[in-house]
């Protein structure tokens, strides 16, 4: 057992057993073509380990947001095709999530065979955590493995149902996520620096409170910084602000351990051709909005990061997808990559940013679950992890 959840080694004898693997194949696509296969590649170690132990593998995942019924634009067909390429074997896609056809395909699998069930969210029972749907998923298989860290914060049927019914364990990806994030929370190395960005401070208030119990300094950028600036009575122009969170930001600033930008890149529009200016953080004129941290802020943040023994980064410093507003995020991404301490990217847009800048291989841990990593930090546990621990008695 690792990180408080059972691992693959804790499973019973797997020869000729059918293993249901909950993966996270919710990959970005454009026109039906996968644009980033990181989540598929990340599942390969678990799939291959099970195949090496003479099991057959039934993969399942959600993809997009279909409304509890089949929708061709959310079919997992592109994922099945990419898995077949990566594994070098046929990976048939069941035409349904549960039912006679899917069950027949599962039962007919041989040692080392791999198949994929159609999108879990084509069935209304997935998101409503219907016990009957969980039973239907579990019936044709012998063992359950959760390798979908990015879905562990949701009490959905495929995440919390099977551990009550089958011998269950965490896959390699989930195990690593739990080890790293639990280690960061329970035994952080100091100085421990958190770098937080993104659009809404309301999404991160609980996370900031949890981190303040462990961090030495929290660096705040992105649009959420403007509510902190407003809390100081500074001029933020037309920048994004959450007026109902100003008192919370004032309280956090009073800790003396939250640092906010000193300069800002501003523009009148969000576009690739926008004319930009750099101004002091509290001097944004009407009609202008802050869209990135300025170079002085980026330098200050980078210096703090350079001294850290542990860094957690979640959320970009600006609208990094557009060239005029990418410099702040790029500067801190390089600072995190160059840091000699243990570095963790908390998924989401920050993970996309380090990949965009070609720095992902210089980060110690890039989480595959933005929402899940934030919930684990805030609450110390996740429904999917609880289910695995409570289901250990079946193993």
C-alpha pair distances (Å), 119 with each of 95, 148, 165: 9, 14, 21
Strand runs (DSSP E) across 50-191, as ranges? 56-60, 114-116, 143-146, 168-170
- Asked if residues 225 and 260 have their Cβ atoms less than 8 Å apart, the reply is yes
- Asked if residues 260 and 249 have their Cβ atoms less than 8 Å apart, the reply is no
- Asked if residues 392 and 12 have their Cβ atoms less than 8 Å apart, the reply is no
Which of 68, 99, 183, 200 is an active site residue?
200
- Asked if residues 278 and 295 have their Cβ atoms less than 8 Å apart, the reply is yes
Alpha carbon distance 182, 258 (integer Å):
23
Q: Which residues contact 337 (CB under 8 A, 6 or more apart)?
A: 343, 354, 359, 362, 363
Phi and psi, residue 220, nearest 5°: -115, 125
Structure tokens at 269: 């529009």
Which of 68, 112, 280, 371 is an active site residue?
371
Phi and psi, residue 290, nearest 5°: -75, 130
DSSP for 289-338, please give it: EEEEE-HHHHHHHHHHHHT-SEEEEES-SS-TTSGGG-HHHHHHHHHHHH
Which of 328, 346, 348, 369 is an active site residue?
348
Alpha carbon distance 18, 113 (integer Å):
9
Which of 22, 39, 176, 289 is an active site residue?
39
C-alpha pair distances (Å), 181 with each of 242, 301, 356: 29, 23, 23
Judge whether 371 counts as a catalytic residue. yes
Judge whether 39 counts as a catalytic residue. yes
Altogether, the residues listed in the chain come to a count of: 395
Hey, which residues are catalytic here? 39, 200, 348, 371
């Amino acid at each position: 057992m690792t990180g408080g959840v059972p691992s693959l080694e804790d499973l019973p004898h797997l020869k000729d057993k059918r293993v249901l693997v909950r993966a996270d194949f919710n990959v970005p696509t454009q026109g039906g073509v996968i644009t980033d296969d990181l989540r598929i590649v990340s599942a390969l170690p678990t799939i291959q380990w099970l195949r090496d132990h003479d099991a057959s593998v039934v993969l399942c995942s959600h993809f997009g947001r279909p409304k509890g019924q089949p929708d061709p634009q959310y079919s997992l067909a592109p994922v099945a095709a990419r898995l077949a390429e990566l594994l070098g074997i046929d990976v048939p896609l069941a035409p349904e999530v549960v039912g006679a056809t899917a069950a027949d395909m599962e039962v007919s699998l041989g040692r080392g065979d791999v198949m994929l069930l159609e999108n879990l969210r084509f069935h209304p029972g997935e998101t409503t955590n219907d016990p009957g749907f969980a039973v239907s998923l579990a019936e044709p298989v012998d063992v359950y493995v959760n390798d979908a860290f990015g879905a562990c914060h949701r009490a959905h049927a495929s995440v919390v149902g099977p551990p009550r019914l089958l011998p269950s364990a965490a896959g390699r990806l989930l195990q690593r996520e739990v080890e790293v994030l639990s280690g960061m929370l329970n035994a952080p190395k100091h100085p421990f620096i958190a770098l937080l960005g993104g659009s809404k401070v309301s999404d991160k208030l609980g996370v900031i409170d949890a981190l303040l119990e462990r961090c030495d300094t929290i660096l705040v950028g992105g649009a959420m910084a403007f509510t902190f600036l407003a809390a100081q009575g500074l001029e933020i122009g037309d920048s994004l602000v959450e007026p109902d969170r100003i008192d919370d930001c004032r309280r956090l600033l009073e800790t003396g351990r939250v640092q906010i930008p000193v300069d800002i890149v501003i523009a009148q529009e969000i576009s690739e051709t926008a004319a930009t200016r750099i101004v002091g953080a509290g001097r944004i004129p009407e009609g202008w909005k802050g869209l990135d941290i300025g170079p002085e802020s980026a330098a200050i943040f980078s210096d703090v990061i350079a001294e850290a023994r542990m860094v957690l980064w979640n959320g970009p410093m600006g609208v990094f997808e557009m060239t005029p507003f990418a410099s702040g995020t790029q500067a801190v991404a390089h600072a995190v990559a160059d840091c000699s301490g243990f570095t963790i990217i908390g998924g989401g847009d920050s993970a996309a940013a380090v990949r965009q800048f070609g720095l992902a291989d210089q980060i110690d841990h890039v989480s595959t679950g933005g929402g899940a990593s934030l919930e684990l930090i805030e609450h110390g546990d996740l429904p999917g992890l609880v289910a695995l621990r409570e289901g250990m008695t079946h193993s």
